[in-house]
Amino acid sequence: MTTIEQMTEKDVAGACRLWSFCFDHGKARERTFEQITTEADGFVAKADGQFVGAYINRLLDMSYDGQFVPIGAIAAVGTELASRGSGVARAMMQHAVRHNREIGRPVSMLYPFSVKFYRDLGWELAGTNYFVSLGLKDVRPGPETDRVRAVTATEFDSVYDRFAQRYRGCMKRTPYIWERVLKPVDGEHRFMYVYEGDAGPEGFMHFCFGSQYYNDELQRPGEVFVRDLIALTPAAHRGLVGTLARLKMQVERVCWEVPADDPVFFEPYDHNRVATLTSERMFRVVDAEKLLARPSEGPVSGEYTIRIMDDEWAGGPQTYLVRLEDGTPRVFPSSATPSIEMTQRAFAQCWVGDPSAEPLRRAGHIQVHDDNQFGTFRSHFGPGTFMTCDPF
């Protein structure tokens, strides 16, 4: 029988050995208990007292319409080779769902090793970005470029937080996340630049010359991947891209990951720009009632009855009556016939807002029995502009 236990210091050596095998082709990966459990809960799986698996549940906050929502970000899910296929990983993920619900984190997020494996457990792909490759040959620095300067400090928190609050999906950058984002690749130097507006910094970017993108097959030879290109104003965006144009004597192209509303799509780079749609993140709602209770962006009034089906919930399908008054909801368990029905996976997508409820309905993933109530539901959650989550 497999049991899941909170990780202790005595489990660290076994976990590091396992993660070395699973993720680093056997290369030693030494970490301390403090490093593993910084902003995270660590867990180990044991069968008859023997170590057979481990995972980490990072305690992070994700941007959502101007606020930050607590989530459990699952990482480092590993199973010993001899125990694979025996349900260890499944048991750990079922534990993660229960654990996040118990500690008040209504959403779980991860990067999947297998979409099918996690989809069968209730996670679903949601939120898309574009991976943009921009040729530098015809890009010209403009007057805004004169406001860009090189920096060595990393005091970008205020700029990043203001940017993140425009989107659904950005992580609030704690010291741990900043360290992961700014970590040089293979010992290379990282080069950082800030755009100074009239009232202070309005944008920043940083990059290394080596390959560093987590989805390396999208990066082309001769490109530099810009890890962050964060701009609060169009002028800041033009200034930072204009600075990148000065790399043309060294590389042909630059690339970075952008949301659908990024200014790069509205500048005259069309003939020299390639955009590839990316979606590697999976979300799972572990407490639907808590998410249904979130205020809407606008003053929505009305009600809807929604049934959410999830095989992994012990209580089975749940039906809720949601009443909104000027955007403030009240949520009640209900035995009434639902006006809207969907799986938990479709609800996770509606919550992220990409895809939103209407295309999910057209695709047959949402069943609607009352169009007026469905309109209230759509107004409650609405489509959202998604921006990539940070590595964890």
Cβ distance 118 to 281 under 8 Å? no
Report field, pTM of the whole predicted structure over 0.85:
yes
Q: Work out whether strand 129-135 and strand 253-258 pair parallel, antiparallel, or are unpaired.
A: antiparallel
Give the C-alpha separation, 303 to 301, whole Å.
7
Cα 171 to Cα 67, 175, 176, 233, 386: the distances in Å are: 11, 12, 11, 21, 12
Res 222: pLDDT: 76
pLDDT at 278: 86
Averaged pLDDT, groups of 10, the chain, 392 residues long: 93 94 87 92 94 96 94 96 94 95 96 94 94 91 96 85 95 89 81 95 91 62 88 97 94 93 89 86 94 91 95 75 96 96 95 95 98 97 89 79
pLDDT at 214: 56
pLDDT of residue 152: 82
Q: Could you tell me which of 387, 389, 355 has the C-alpha nearest to residue 378? A: 355
Amino acid 312: pLDDT: 66
The two three-digit tokens of residue 146, written as one number? 């004169």
Residue 28, pLDDT score: 84
SS3 label, residue 204: strand
